[in-house]
Structure 1
C-alpha cells in the first residue's frame, strides 16, 4: 500500500522539475493537494536540498541535487536506438506520427516519436512526456501485457491513493479487456484526452516484444476527424504489427550478442 504523503511529495517534486519554476499555488494544483499541504511538502523538499526558492520571487525551482536521484539508474537497453530508423520509415510510408512508450509506474513515458517528421500532427512530443495508463492506447496495451499480480497491485494502489476518481477507476478497470487486447495484439484509444490537444486525436498501439517479454508499446496517432478507428485498423494495423515485430527481432539479436 503506497504512503500517501510520499506520493504527494513525489508529485510536487515532479511538477517543479518538469516546469522548472512554479508558485506555491501552481504546485498545489499540479500535485492536486490543498495549499497548506503544498506548503509543507515544499518546505520539506527545501530542507532536503532538492528545491529552492528563487531570489526575490515566491517561486520554487529544482536544485542540482535532483540530478543525483538518477545516479543509480542504468538504462542499458537499446530500444530507442534500434526502433528509431524503423518508426521514421513507417511514418514516411503512412504519414502519421509514431511513438514508442514504456510504462513507468502508473504512467506511460514517451521514449521517442516521429511527430517532428510529419506535418500530420497538431503538436510535437518529446521524450519524457507522460500519459496515464488507463487513458491511452499504449497504457491499455501495457497493462494487458503486465503480469496479472503486478497489474492488480497497481490498480489497487491507484484506488488506495485516491489520486484517481474511484467511480472512473471502476469504469476504466471494467473496460480494460485484457484477454481481448492480448488476443487481438493491439489496443485503441478513440479520443486522446490527456495530451496536448485533448479530444482531437485517436491512437492505435501494438506491442514490441523481446522474445516473450513485453518491452514497449508502439503507437500511431491520427486525427480523430480524419478517419474512424476501424478504418485506421484496416489500413495500418498489419504495417504497425510488422514494424513492431522487426524492432523486437533486432532487440532480441542485440540482447543475445550482449550475453556472449
Structure 2
C-alpha cells in the first residue's frame, strides 16, 4: 500500500471513529453512506478497527461500538466519551439479556437529554427514543434521580428555576411537596420511578464520577408487563451493579491519577 493510500485509509478510520462516537453505534451500511464509500470499503475500515480493538460488534444488531481502548487515545481529555466507549457495550449486552431497553441521560437546562439508548437491541414495541431527545426534569425518573443526588444548594437553585419555568411539562415542579417527597425517596432508596405513571415507565439510578452525580442510567418498561414492585426487586439491583461497573471502567483511571 503506497503512502497516499495509507493516508486515505487512516482518514477513513478516524472519520469512522468520530461518527461512531457521535452516533453511539453504526452498521456497515450506515458507515458506507456516511463516508460515501462502497459497502466493501466500509466493511474493511470497521474490520481493521475491530482487529485493533478500537471497536466491538453486537452480534445480534450488527452495530459497531467504540471500546474502552479509544479512551487511551485521549487520556486526560475531560469529556463524556465514556458514554459511548464504556457504557454502550454494557447497555446493549444487558438489554439482550433482560429484554428491556436501557438509556443514559444527562441534564441539559431544565430537561434530561438522552445520550445513548439500547432500543435497537430489543424487538419490543415501545416508543422509540432517539439520542438528543429531551424531557422535563421534574417529571421523569432520570430527572428526579439527578435532582436527588445534586449538592443541596445546586438542588435548591435548580428547583426554583424549574418552578418558575414556562414549560407546561414542568407542572410537577410547581408542586414542591410532591417533588421533594420523590427526591427524598430517591436518596433513601438509590433509585426512582419518577412522577410519570403512564403506559410506558422508567426506573433510574445514579452514575457518579469523583463523588458527584454525572449521569443517570435508566430502564424503560411497560406497566402492563411489569409492576413497580417487581422492577424494584428484580431489576434495580442489576441497574445499580451496572452503574458501579460503568463508574469503575470509566473513572477508575481518573481516581488513580488524582491520587498520585
TM-score (norm 2): 0.63
**1:175–1:161: structure 2 CA closer, same or farther, 3 Å change rule?**
closer
Given that 1:107 and 1:131 are in contact with CA atoms closer than 8 Å, whether structure 2 keeps it comes out as yes
Where structure 1 has 5 or more consecutive residues not aligned to the other structure, the ranges are 1-73, 193-198
Instruction: Name the structure 1 match of 2:222.
Output: 223
Given that 2:95 and 2:122 are in contact with CA atoms closer than 8 Å, whether structure 1 keeps it comes out as yes
Given that 2:207 and 2:214 are in contact with CA atoms closer than 8 Å, whether structure 1 keeps it comes out as yes
Summarize the alignment of residues 37-186 of structure 1 with structure 2, pairs less than 5 Å apart: 75=79, 77-164=81-168, 168-171=172-175, 174-177=178-181, 178-186=183-191
Partner deviation per Cα, 1:110-133 (whole Å, 9 max, x = no partner): 000001110124232221011111
1:77, 1:228 → 2: CA distance? Answer: 34
Instruction: Name the structure 2 match of 1:237.
Output: 236
1:209 aligns with 2:212: no
* CA shift for structure 1 position 245: 0.6
Q: After alignment, is 140-149 or 115-124 more displaced? A: 115-124
* CA shift for structure 1 position 154: 1.7
Where structure 2 has 5 or more consecutive residues not aligned to the other structure, the ranges are 1-77
1:126, 1:135 → 2: CA distance? Answer: 18
Instruction: Name the structure 1 match of 2:53.
Output: none
* CA shift for structure 1 position 254: 3.9
Given that 1:121 and 1:222 are in contact with CA atoms closer than 8 Å, whether structure 2 keeps it comes out as no
* CA shift for structure 1 position 76: 5.1
Instruction: Name the structure 1 match of 2:69.
Output: none
1:165, 1:99 → 2: CA distance? Answer: 21
1:78, 1:185 → 2: CA distance? Answer: 22
Q: Superposition RMSD on alpha carbons, in Å?
A: 2.4
1:106, 1:138 → 2: CA distance? Answer: 12
Which structure is higher in RCO with an 8 Å CA cutoff and minimum separation 6? 1
Q: What is the aligned residue count?
A: 181
